[in-house]
Each structure stands twice: as structure tokens, then as C-alpha cells.
Structure 1
Amino acid sequence: SIFDCDEHMVFSNEEASAGEWNVWEHGNLKTIDHVPIEVQVTGMGDLSKPGVTTNSFLNTKVFLKAWDLLIKDGRFWEHDWVVKVDPDAVFFPDRLQDRLKPLTSYGLSEGNAMYIVNCDRQFGAQDTMPAKLFGSLEVFSRNAIN
């Protein structure tokens, strides 16, 4: 859960009452704040029609606004890594922290703009990209954000 990270921010383009934003943190029920994003969202279309996809370009405005708000807030400068996690992603911060430890402890993340690829699968013969960054979990060094 993102709430087990050193720090977290929640962005949402949908209204939610306070009761919907409760989370268990260290054994206590806590109401979390979220940063509202006000953008017009593009609809997905009819997925039963040929050629209609669920490409991520449909929510680009939401993500751009969230990144702008994160940068404006500035708290990310106090941390080595920034992780963008989709709300439906299964995420274990302690496991990610273990994997990032070599990059962080040897200073490789300091000063360098880095991102972590999270898929090395090839999707057909036409796919020539050896490594990819899928959107459900994105990991960036602090300097990759600026």
C-alpha cells in the first residue's frame, strides 16, 4: 500500500466524501487527504468495436495535472525515489525498497535521472523494445522528475 511509504500523496479526478478516504495506518483508522484534479476526462468508447483500445492516452490530462501538482508541492525532493501507483495495483513498498537499495546506497540514484523498467516481455515479432515501463507502477529517481 502507498500508505506504507515514507510519504504519500493521493490525487483523484473524482469527488469523494471523507468516509471514502479512510485507511488503516499503523493499526489506526485515518482519514486521508487527497489532492483534487480538475480536468475533463475523455471517454473510452465502445470496446466491443474493432480497433477501439484502452490506450493510456485517454487519461493523459489527469496524469499531466497530477505530475504538475506533485512538482509544485515539492516534497519529492526530500526522497530518493518517486513511485506512481495506480489505485488498483498491488504494491509492496518494502519489496521495492529492497530492490532499489543497491541503486540508492551506491549513490547511483543521486544526481542521475533514472526510471525503472517493469516489463521485459516481447509482444509479438513487431515489438522491438527490449524493456518497457507500464503505467500501473512507475518508479523514478528524484532527478528524473524535474
Structure 2
Amino acid sequence: ASIFACSGYAVYSNMSLQVGPGLNTKIVASSLACGKGGDSNTALNSWIFIAVWRKVTRDQEYRRYAWVVKADPDCVFFPDRLVPILRANAQASYINNCQYGLHGPIEVFSRGAIDRLAQDYAQSFDGKSPARCVKEQDFGIWGEDMFIDQCFSKVLSLPNRATEPRVLCEDHCDCPDFFWCKAGADRVAYHPFKTVGAYEACIANALTQTPPAVMAAARSRVLPGAAASTSSSEYYGGGGSAVYGVGGSNEYAGTGSSEYGGTGSDEYAGTGSSGYEGTGSDEYGGTGNNEYGSGSSQYGSDAAGAYYGSAYPAQTA
């Protein structure tokens, strides 16, 4: 499970850390601390992720893959379950995982979407932030997930925002029994699980025989629009921690966590341990999300690291 099932990965942090044998963090020039606020008392972490995505777009490694996945460290993620969903939504610019809007535990973007984000960074005077997405949005009390969702859908007007509820099961999006991790054999991710024991129990439960989620087909849809970039050979995203693609070909396989999705990966993890987040609430205010914390309260130490998961090599039918 998680990003460790991916064929490629990268870990981003504001400190140089060895995450595992042969895996060191990539440095993001930003503090990873933030406050909380808004109607849901969410982590106000948009600027942190602006710094992380700047590093990602500059590194250019995401361009090896067709899809990019960012996942939180307390998110149990099964990359193999994402593959058929991506095939079915091959023309999507990115995947919306909840009817209420994109939720941050796992985010799935096409390479074309990240290319467009990189162009917006290039339009700013110093290249440190996406020019239009910062200028044209009042995001002071938003979490990073709302910022990126509105940036892509409203400001940059990306076509084909696909809504796919099978991607995420969490209490904040009509999945109150998330903790049993039995919401369907095709459910990609569950969130949140703050301890190693709870995380492992979720994996064990999810891998037992369960039928597919009955609501998935009825609520899955793709909005009309132009095709997104899907011709690349891999998917940058996926389970766990890394920047690039799950199970597949020439990627960067490995075992880390990184900005592109992967389960268990979260933007700002603690100093290399699993609990990157504090005990605070999740982006939409509720029982604990990831954002920051190396085991402590909600925000976290400068040692925290961003974990990205990665993806799958593109496959043809």
C-alpha cells in the first residue's frame, strides 16, 4: 500500500533528512508552520504548498509521468486501485474526490495540469508563486486543497474536472465508517489514521474481500472539455510517497513519500516519522488531517517533510 508501491517517488522538506536507505529529502525553501482559521478552523497552509509546488515544477521530474498524486502520510492509499479509475478518466485534467470539492488527503492531477501550473509560476515576477492563481483569489482563509482546486477550475479554467468518489473515503465526505476501511474493494484511499497500529489495521481490513462501492458508478462523472495530457508513459502520482509513478516502468521506484500523492504521504510530515501531523483537524476541520506536526500539535516542526506519492505507467487497453 501507499507510495511505497509506486515505481517512483520523491520527498520534499525544508530540512535535509534521510528518509530511508538511498532516499533523501529535496529541500523546499519555506517554513512549514502555519496557523488555523476559517469556518472549519482548517490549516491555512496555501502558502506552504505554493512553495512545495514551486519546487516540484522547477525540478521537472513530474514530466516523466502522465499523472501526479499528492497524498497525506495518514492517508491509507492503494495505488493499484487508482489505475482503472485513471484509465476511465483519461481525458481529465484532474480528479475531484468529493462532491463538496477537492479534499487534501489525496489529490490526483494530470501532467498537463501541473504543466499549466508551472506556466503560471513562470508568469510571476520572481517565479515563486503562480501569478494569476495568487492575484485573482482571496485565499487567506483557505487550505491548500481549496486553493489548488479553485486555481485549476476557476482561474486557469482547466477542462475536464472529473468527480470520482471512489478515490477517497473520509468522514468529511459522506463516508462516516471510514475507520473500518471496508467501503468497497475499489476504494483508493482512506483517511485519517494517526497511529501505526490504526494504519496497519486499515490496510488489513481493506484487503479482505469486499464488494465494489455501490455508489461509485452512479456518482462518477467527467465534465465535457478538451483532452488533458495523458500520452506519457507513466502516472506521476499514486501510492505513497514519491513523485513518480506507481508500478511501472522506468520511473523512480522506491519507497519514499513525496508531493505527488502516495499514501501515507503528506505534504508536511514530521521529521521522517510516520505521524506527520499533529492532532489537529483536517483541511475541512474535523478529526485530524495531516498537515504538520511531527507528532506534536497541529503545526509542526521545521523538520517536517513533504511526501509525495507517485504513479503508474500508462497502460493501453
Superposed CA deviations along residues 22-56 of structure 1, whole A, max 9, x for unmatched, are 2xxxxxxx3422112232322348xxxxx774324
Match of 1:143, as an amino acid? G
Displacement of 1:132: 1.3
Match of 2:42 in 1: 55
- Distance in structure 2 (CA, Å) of the matches to 1:91 and 1:85: 8
Match of 2:12, as an amino acid? F
Is 1:35 matched up with 2:26? yes
Is 1:139 matched up with 2:140? no
Gaps of 5+ in 1: 23-29, 46-50, 121-130
- Say if 1:96 and 1:9 are closer, same or farther in 2 by CA, change over 3 A: same
Mapping of residues 57-76 of structure 1, within 5 Å: 58-76=44-62
Mapping of residues 1-146 of structure 1, within 5 Å: 1-13=2-14, 15=15, 17-18=17-18, 21-22=19-20, 30-40=21-31, 41-44=33-36, 53-56=40-43, 58-104=44-90, 108=91, 114-120=93-99, 131-146=100-115
Superposed CA deviations along residues 84-125 of structure 1, whole A, max 9, x for unmatched, are 111211111111112112233xxx25xxxx1101112xxxxx
Query: Larger helix proportion, structure 1 or 2?
Result: 1
Contact 1:37 1:62 in 2 (8 A): no
- Distance in structure 2 (CA, Å) of the matches to 1:101 and 1:12: 31
Deviates more, 1:85-94 or 1:135-144: 85-94
Deviates more, 1:61-70 or 1:36-45: 36-45
Q: Which has the higher contact order (CA 8 A, sep 6+)?
A: 2
- Distance in structure 2 (CA, Å) of the matches to 1:54 and 1:100: 32
- Say if 1:71 and 1:42 are closer, same or farther in 2 by CA, change over 3 A: same
Gaps of 5+ in 2: 116-317
Match of 1:124 in 2: none
Displacement of 1:61: 1.9
TM-score by length of 2: 0.32
Instruction: Please give the secondary structure, in 1, of the residue aligned with 2:10.
Output: coil
- Distance in structure 2 (CA, Å) of the matches to 1:38 and 1:100: 32
Contact 2:16 2:27 in 1 (8 A): no
- Distance in structure 2 (CA, Å) of the matches to 1:103 and 1:72: 27
CA RMSD of aligned residues (A): 2.3
Contact 2:65 2:111 in 1 (8 A): yes
- Give the number of equivalent residue pairs: 113
Instruction: Please give the secondary structure, in 2, of the residue aligned with 1:139.
Output: strand
TM-score by length of 1: 0.66
